Amino acid sequence: MRRPDASPASGPGAGRLGSVSRDGGDGSFGAPKTIEAGVLNVGYVEAGAPRGPVAILLHGWPYDIHAFADVAPRLAAKGYRVIVPHLRGHGTTRFLSTGTFRNGQPAALATDVVDLMDALQIRRAVLAGFDWGARTADIVAALWPERCTALVAVSGYLIGNQEAGKVPLPPEAELQWWYQFYFATDRGRAGYAKYRNDFARLIWKLASPKWDFDDATFDRSAASLDNPDHVDIVIHNYRWRLGLAEGEPKYADLEKRLAAAPVITVPTITLEGDANGAPHPDPASYANKFSGPYTHRLVGGGVGHNLPQEAPKPFADAILEVAGSGAR
C-alpha cells in the first residue's frame, strides 16, 4: 500500500474507489449469540468459517450491528470468521452487575473488545469500524497492536482525550457538535431518553444527507437503542469528552497513554465518504499517525457517515486488502 502525500484525499479522483453501487449482499447474519466478557454479557453475531482469519466489525452511534449486514457475507465468502458485537449500551449487550458504573469513556469500549477477544479465544483480528467503532478500533490498534492484524477506520485517527476536548473550536465547527452540548444538560438527557428514535433518525439524515434509507432499515437498527443502559452510556460518553464527567480510575493509565496521541503501527486503510455530514477530521491531519503500511481512500457516490452500510463493497474490499495474507 502507498503512503499518502500531505493531502491524501485532495484533488480530482485522489485515492478514490469510485462511485458506489449499493448492491450489497442479502443482509443475513448468523444466529444471535452472547458471551460473558469482562464486565459484560456481549451480544454478537457471527458469520463465516469458524477457523478462518478473524474480522471484528465495530458499529457507531446511533447505529448498530446491521451497519455490517452486507459486509459480513462478503467477508464470510472469502473464508473469514466475522464477529459483529453490539457495543455496550446497544442491542443485546448487558452488564453482568447492576452495580457496575455505566461508563461510556472510549478506553472502556476498547477494553470491551479485548475482553471479547479473550472470551472467544481470538488471539489476533482485523479490526474495522466507523464512528464510535472506528475510535474503538483505533485505540485497540494503538494500545494492543499485538492483538490487531490490521485496521480499517472510517474518518481515520479518532483518538482523543479530555484536555483536547476542552479546547474551543471555531463557531462553525462547534455547531456540528450541537448534540454534545445538548447532552451536557439535564434537559438534553431527558430529551434523548424521551425522543430517542426521533433523535437517531435526525442524526442519520444529517450525517448521511444523500442516503435514502427506508423506514424498515432505520427501524431495524433503532431497536438496538432500546437498551436499558443506552442513555447512560451515550450521555456519559459525551460528557466525559468535555470533561464534565469522570471516568473510572482503572482506565487512568490507558487514558494517559491515549492523551499522548500514540502512533498506530499496524497496516491500515482509512476511508471517508464524499458526503459525510458528521464532524470528521481532514485526512491530511492524521496521515502521520500511521507508521505502518497505510493508505487513505475517498469513497464517492454520495456516501455519508455510515460508510459500511452505504458502501459495503468498498468497506469489505478495504478489509480484504489491508489484511492480505497476514490475517491469520
Question: Across residues 197-201, what is the average pLDDT?
Answer: 98
What pLDDT does 6 receive?
Answer: 30
High-pLDDT (> 90) share of the chain, %: 86
CB atoms within 10 A of CB 34: 15
What pLDDT does 17 receive?
Answer: 34
Residue with cell 452495580: 99
What pLDDT does 3 receive?
Answer: 37
Question: Across residues 251-275, what is the average pLDDT?
Answer: 97
Give me the amino acid identity at 199.
Answer: F
Task: Indicate the range of 17-26, 63-72, 277-286 predicted with least confidence.
Answer: 17-26
Mean pLDDT over all residues of the chain? 91
Pinpoint the alpha helices (H) of 208-295: 215-222, 230-241, 252-259
High-pLDDT (> 70) share of the chain, %: 90
Question: Across residues 200-227, what is the average pLDDT?
Answer: 98
pTM, to two decimals: 0.91
What pLDDT does 1 receive?
Answer: 44
Is residue 62 reached through a cis peptide bond, with omega within 30 degrees of 0 on the bond before it?
yes
Pick the closest to residue 109 from 204, 224, 251, 268 (CA basis): 251
CB atoms within 10 A of CB 226: 11
Burial group, residue 33, by CB count within 10 angstroms (0-12, 13-18, 19+): middle
Question: Across residues 180-201, what is the average pLDDT?
Answer: 98
Distance CA 165, CA 243 (A): 7
**What confidence tens digit (pLDDT) does each residue in 8-60 have?**
333 323 333 333 333 334 456 778 999 999 999 999 999 999 999 999 999 99
What pLDDT does 27 receive?
Answer: 53
More confident residue, 106 or 9: 106
C-alpha 322: how far from chain center: 17
What pLDDT does 103 receive?
Answer: 98
Instruction: Find all residues with CB under 8 Å of 278, minimum gap 6, and list them.
Output: 131, 176, 203, 206, 207, 304, 305
What pLDDT does 10 receive?
Answer: 30
> Both ends of the chain: CA-CA distance in Å?
19
In which element (H, E) is residue 273 found?
A: strand 268-273
Distance CA 283, CA 212 (A): 26
Per-residue DSSP letter, 290: B
**What confidence tens digit (pLDDT) does each residue in 134-169 have?**
999 999 999 999 999 999 999 999 999 888 888 899
What pLDDT does 4 receive?
Answer: 37
What pLDDT does 28 receive?
Answer: 62
Q: Indicate the angle between helix axes 196-207 and 186-194, nearest 10 degrees.
A: 90
- Contact criterion met (CB below 8 Å) for 64 and 137: no
Distance CA 154, CA 157 (A): 9
- Contact criterion met (CB below 8 Å) for 128 and 315: yes
Q: Is the pLDDT at 216 greater than 70, yes or no? A: yes
What does the chain come to in residues? 328
**What confidence tens digit (pLDDT) does each residue in 83-95 have?**
999 999 999 999 9
